[in-house]
Chain A
C-alpha cells in the first residue's frame, strides 16, 4: 500500500504541472464560451421538441409495431449487440475485452454474456431459441433467460456447456486445457469427447475439468490411429486426447526465477498499452534479439492486445526465427494466423499459418482451433475443395467442437 504522503506528494507535483499547462493554454473567451453554450442549448431544445413530436406519432404506431414484433421475433434468430456502445454483433467475429474492461454481449431475448477483462469470444450461430458461443480464452459470466425450448451452448476448447436457463461463470484456459464452471442459478450439462459421461452441474456447484495433453510418448503412440489431413503442404495428424480428469485447484505454471522485464510486468498486470510503450522505449527490435522464447511469445501477445499487429508480427517472427522447432514457435505461427484471419482479406495467409501450426504440433493444445480456423480460412478464400477435406477431418475428430456446424455444412452435398 502506498503511503499517503508519497501519493499526495506525487499528486501535488502533478497538479502543479497541470496548472502550468492550464495557465499557458489558449482557451476560448468568455463570450465565445457563452455563445457555444447557448448554441448547444438551442440545438438541444430544438431536438427535444422534435423528439416530443416524434414520440407522439410513434406512440400510436408503437403498440401495433410491438404486436407485429412479438409475432415476428418468435420466428427470427436472436440478435445481439456488443459492448456498452451496443454495436450490432456479427456472427463469427471475435470480440475481445481488453483489460481492465468487461464487455457485455446482450441478446434480443434478454440473455447476456459478460466477457471479463482479457477474455475473447465469438458467437458462431444464433437461432430463435438460443446461440452457440465460443470462448477462445478467459472468463465469461452467462445469464440465460429461461424460456421453453431454449438451445444455448457455450464452448471452451473440447468442452460444450449446454444451457437451458441459468447463470454461471465459464473460464477456459487453452494453455492448461482447463475449463472452470461456477454455477449461480439453474443447471447445465458439460459434454466433451474426453469425458466418460456428460457432467451435470447445479446451483452452487463448481468444477474444473481438464483434457490433459498427451505426453510426447503418448502422442507418438497415438499417431498411427490419428486421422491424416489432406493438406497442401504437409500431412496433418491429430492425436486423440486422453480421458478428461477433474482437477481440484488452479494449476498455474511456476513463476520464473529471473526478474522479468518491466514491460512484461506491465503486460501481466493487464496494462498492454503501457507495456508496449515500455517495450518501445527499451528498443523493441533489440529486445526481440535477447528475450527467451516464452518472453517473446508474451511480447507478441501484449503487442497484439495493445492493438499493434505490426509489432506483434515482429515479435512472433523473431520467435520463429530464433527458436525454430519449439512449442513457442508453433504457437507464434498460430497467432500469426489468427492475426491474418482477423484482418479482412488475409485468409490465404491465415490458412498457411494454421497449416504450419498443425504441421509443427499435430498434438498441440491449439489443434482444434487451428483446424477449425484453417477450414474457415479455406472457405473464405474460396478454396472449397480444401475446406471440405478439412471439414471431414474436423468432424471426425471434434463432432461437437466449436466449428462442427460449419464443418457439417461444408461436408453435406
Chain B
C-alpha cells in the first residue's frame, strides 16, 4: 500500500457519517486493513465509530462512570475479533452487537453485587450534563431507575428502541435474536415500564403532561 490511498481512505472514513453509511470508501479494503492491523485503519475506525459506541452504551446503561473503559473494551474486542467478521458491509451492526454484549455484561456485573441483604449503597453517577435542569435530570434518573427493574435482555431491546431510536431489525441484529423475539421483548419491557413508570413521581408528571420538563429547560 502507498501513503496516498491511506490518506484518502482515512478522509473518507471520517466523512462517512455517524449512521454508518460507508459512502464512497470500500468497506472490504477497510476491513482488510483492520485485519492487517494497519494503524491508520484502527485510528479511522475508532474516530468514526467511537461516538456510535458511546451512544449505544449510554442509551442502554444510562450512566457514564465507566463509559471510557467500556468503550475501550468494545474496541479491544472488535480489534481482536475482526477476523471473524464475514460481511465487511455489516461492520457497524457487528460492532453494535459487541457493544450490546459489553453493556449486558456491565449490567450483570452490577447486579451480581446485589445479592447480599445489606449491601453497601451504590454510588449514583451523573446521568446528564451539569447544565441540564434539575427536573430533567430527575426524570432521566427516574427513567433508568425504572428500566433497571426490567429483565436485562428486555431492558436492552427497550432502551435501544425507545431512547436509541434504532429500527427493530437493527436491534435484532445487535442482540443476535429474531425479529419476533425482539418485538416480544420490547412489548414486555414497555408494559413493565408503563406500569412502573407511571407510579414514579418524576415520570408520572411526564406521562400526564407530555414534555413538561423539556419546556422548563429553555
User: A interface vs B, CB < 8 Å?
Assistant: 1-2, 6-15, 17-25, 27-28, 30, 33-34, 36-37, 40-41, 44, 82-85, 87, 94-101, 103, 120, 262, 265-266, 269-271, 273-274, 277-278, 281, 304-305, 307-309, 339, 342-343
Contact = CB atoms under 8 A, between A and B. Distances in A.
Interface string B45-83: 011001100110011001010011001110110011000
Interface of A is mostly: helix
Nearest to A87: B115
Contacts of A277: 145
B215 to A, nearest CB: 10
Q: Which 3 A-B pairs have the closest CB atoms?
A: A2-B194, A11-B162, A85-B112
B193 A2 contact: yes
Q: Which of A10, A85, A96 has the most CB of B within 10 A?
A: A10
Given A2-B193, A25-B67, A30-B43, 9 more contacts: A6-B207, A10-B162, A15-B165, A18-B163, A40-B72, A40-B76, A41-B79, A41-B80, A270-B149
Contacts of B143: 10, 14
B108 interface: yes
A307 B112 contact: no
A135 B166 CA distance: 43
A113 to B, nearest CB: 13
Contacts of A120: 117
B50 A307 contact: no
A368 to B, nearest CB: 20
B76 A33 contact: no
24 contacts: A2-B190, A2-B194, A8-B162, A15-B59, A15-B163, A15-B164, A15-B165, A18-B55, A18-B62, A22-B54, A24-B130, A25-B67, A25-B129, A28-B68, A30-B43, A33-B71, A34-B42, A37-B46, A37-B79, A44-B76, A98-B114, A100-B149, A103-B115, A281-B201
Given A37-B79, A99-B149, A342 B117 contact: yes
Contacts, number: 177
A54 B98 CA distance: 29
Interface in B169-218: 190-191, 193-197, 199-201, 204, 206-207, 210-211, 213-214
Contacts of B46: 30, 33-34, 37
Contacts of A304: 117
Interface stretch (B28-36, B86-94, B119-127): B119-127
A28 to B, nearest CB: 5
Interface of B is mostly: helix
A292 B184 CA distance: 40
Interface of B: 42-43, 46-47, 50-51, 54-55, 58-59, 62, 64, 67-68, 71-73, 75-76, 79-80, 108, 111-121, 126-132, 136-137, 139-140, 142-143, 145-146, 148-151, 161-165, 190-191, 193-197, 199-201, 204, 206-207, 210-211, 213-214
A343 B118 contact: yes
Contact of B206 (A10, A22, A265): A10
Contacts of B62: 18
